[in-house]
Amino acid sequence: MLIFDQLNKGDQPLRILAWGLLAGLLLLLGGLWKVQVLSGAQYRERQETQSFRTVRVPALRGKILDRSGREFAGNTPRYRLDLYLDELRPQFAAEYDVRRAALVARKSATNAPPKDTFWAWVGRGFRKPRTTPRLTIQEIDQLSRASRFAAVSNTIAEVGRRLRLPLTLSEQALHDHYITKRALPLPILPNCTPEQVALITEQSWNLPGVELERVPIRRYPHGHLASHVVGHLRRDDDYNDEEGRFDYRMRDFRGAMGLEAAFDRELRGQAGARSILVNSAGYRHRQGEEVIAEPQPGLNLITTLDLDLQVAAEKALGSVAGDERGAVVVMDPTNGDVLAMASAPDFDPSEFLDGVSAQRWTNFFLAEPATPMINRATYGQYAPGSTFKIIDAIALLEAGVDPNALFRVEPDPTTPGKGRYMLGKRSIRDLAPPGEYDFRRAFIRSSNSYFIDHGLRLGWEKLIGWGANFGLGQRTGIRLNEETGGDFPTLDTVRERGWTAGNMANVLIGQEITLTPLQLAVAVSAVANGGKVFWPRLVDRLEPESPLSETPAVRVQPGQVRTEIRAKARNFDLVRTAMRDDVLDSEGTGKSARMSDFEICGKTGTAEIKGFGRKDKVTWFASFAPFEAPRYVVIVMVESGASGGGTCAPVARQIYEFLRNREQGRSAPLAHLGGGQ
């Protein structure tokens, strides 16, 4: 051995070199031992952290039910056709090779040979000549992106051919999914019909990456029914109001309106988690999937609504001639339960599940004057017109006005057969004819002159105080986000606006103030029950789907009194009797609501809207029944109606007819409105 012979002869330089090599080898072995043995566990743990991804799995959404347990919103299985990109990697590679070869060929044909300089000639002697042009990083990225899109497009086109359905996918949508959610399936047909499901399962497709998935989706079995109360969902895959961090999130929805939004957290339940194994390229390994936590279903929400009554209310409101824009509220005056709430025009909540186009949103949902997204029962602000005289009446009687004292309405020279009230030089028209009026006749003929003349003596402080006692200018507290308090003045706003006796006269006849139909329902309920202003109740309870669940039910207590009107029982009786006579008497403005065997008590109202080049009317009928023992309050409001008596009273009558027939056992449950899904 020559090397060892030289070492034995004492070759000093060689001996130093040998010892140096030995030391380096020992150092290398020591480092390898440290990495493999001492730090092995740490690197393995880091590798596992990088390889596993946590996926958020949405829970089954709770149902929204009526007071008897019938569904307004539930869940139904939907079949979705998905594409897993990891199984298309061979196609990606094949497309890439073809496209790369074509690009290289083009570059080779167009690139001129470089000029042969002296230094280039010298360099050729030290390096191997390049036969193909070099690709830039940008060109490689573009090739990869185009190759993926071509392979996926081919697969989707084949699916469309087999289903006889044109299917497309934008390159940007594929790129976004590839970058952010590569390990998750790409939906290519979100809602398969039963015929398509049968075709896919019968033919046993052998397309790589294509799978049929069964997923739950929101279902609104009665279509448009109670759409403003129930609300709708919107896509929200990035819900971050939860503890824990997720790498990926499965398709999910969030409440956007109505009860779906107000009780979104309770309805959506608790999401689960699934762990998937992901390789270095970002694709999943199916054998590495594991459920970390099972999703916990959301709570069912039981409302105070009566489904059959809701159908009757919407049907009655829909009977208004023309394009109806209005609202109906039916309330139980004994405890404040909302039994029905309708707003027209309405919408189909299921339309939002697959997304609404910008054009549809602008041309339909936001189109004026229809604006179907507005819940007119709780969010619409309207001048109450003569229905405000119900509150005037309580205030005047409590102020000591003699109901039997006569007041003379003066004739209007410009309108034969009608009266007028002169406030200084201003003439305020009165639809009631001239003549003598006591309280009862002034109420049922809706005399502006009577209520303005007596009301002006009250003063702002008392009038505003009575309105506030009935809850005007304040939200009712119903559990919906879409609610407003209307516009009812305070003493400060009267001073700030510089309001005079003329403004007060307008307020007394229901002008220059606004309220919502729900606010009026609460106020009329207080008159019907003798003074209790309830917090309206729309939700009865929240409870788990399974009776074996350990989660307790949460009940909303009925009959919670907000305030109590401190008025004499006699005065409440006088107002209730006047409301009954407004329907029963031949002179009454509400006689269109009259029923022979069901005593309805009501007050009509018509308010004019002027401004911004617009002139319109808001018509009302505020009522309760039966007279002796009030069980129902029905408020009807219609925009652009003819009059409260001519437009709204017949709508209320239809609702009362349904209630009477049901109480007497003469009506079967109504079929649902519209086409649900």
For position 344, what pLDDT does the model report? 96
pLDDT tens-digit readout, 48-102:
444 666 777 788 999 999 999 999 999 998 888 888 888 888 898 998 899 888 8
Six-digit token pair at 115? 């000029």
Domain around 589? 307-348+376-541+559-663
312 and 239 in a common domain: no
Total tally of structural domains belonging to the chain: 2
493 and 635 in a common domain: yes
**Phi, psi angles (nearest 5°) of residue 34:** -65, -45
218 and 317 in a common domain: no
Q: Assess if residue 636 is contained within a domain.
A: yes
pTM of the model: 0.83
316 and 237 in a common domain: no
Q: Assess if residue 670 is contained within a domain.
A: no
Gap between the Cα atoms of 78 and 96, Å rounded: 36
Gap between the Cα atoms of 610 and 512, Å rounded: 11
What are the CA-CA distances from residue 163 to residues 158, 159, 197, 205, 554 (Å)?
9, 6, 10, 11, 48
pLDDT tens-digit readout, 342-355:
999 999 999 998 88
Q: Assess if residue 314 is contained within a domain.
A: yes
Residue that finishes a domain, picked among 282, 302, 322 = 302
Gap between the Cα atoms of 554 and 563, Å rounded: 25
Q: How confident is the model at residue 660 (pLDDT cuts 50, 70, 90)?
A: very high
507 and 613 in a common domain: yes
Strand (E) or helix (H) holding 156: helix 137-163
**Phi, psi angles (nearest 5°) of residue 544:** -70, 155
CATH number of the domain enclosing 295: 3.90.1310.10
Residue that finishes a domain, picked among 276, 302, 328 = 302
pLDDT tens-digit readout, 624-635:
999 999 999 999
Gap between the Cα atoms of 567 and 552, Å rounded: 41
524 and 495 in a common domain: yes
Three-point CA angle 596, 601, 604, nearest 5°: 115
Q: Assess if residue 353 is contained within a domain.
A: no
pLDDT tops 90 at residue 671:
no
284 and 204 in a common domain: yes
Dihedral (C-alpha) 174, 180, 183, 189: value to the nearest 10 degrees?
-40
532 and 443 in a common domain: yes
One-letter identity of residue 431: L
CATH number of the domain enclosing 509: 3.40.710.10
296 and 321 in a common domain: no
Helices (H), 273-356: 307-318
Q: Among 242-251, 266-275, 476-485, 525-534, which is the least confidently predicted range?
A: 242-251
Average pLDDT, the chain: 87
Gap between the Cα atoms of 123 and 141, Å rounded: 31
Q: Assess if residue 553 is contained within a domain.
A: no
298 and 340 in a common domain: no
Q: Assess if residue 255 is contained within a domain.
A: yes
Q: Assess if residue 367 is contained within a domain.
A: no
Q: Among 111-125, 516-530, 625-639, which is the least confidently predicted range?
A: 111-125
For position 270, what pLDDT does the model report? 84
Mean pLDDT highest for which of 80-94, 123-137, 433-447? 433-447
385 and 242 in a common domain: no
pLDDT tens-digit readout, 607-654:
987 655 567 899 999 999 999 999 999 999 999 999 999 999 999 999
For position 16, what pLDDT does the model report? 74
DSSP labels, 161-218: HHHT------HHHHHHHHHH-TTS-EEEESS--HHHHHHHHHHT---TTEEEEEEEEE
Contact 539, 479 (CB under 8 A): yes
Q: Assess if residue 124 is contained within a domain.
A: no
Three-point CA angle 187, 188, 194, nearest 5°: 100
525 and 456 in a common domain: yes
Residue that finishes a domain, picked among 275, 302, 329 = 302
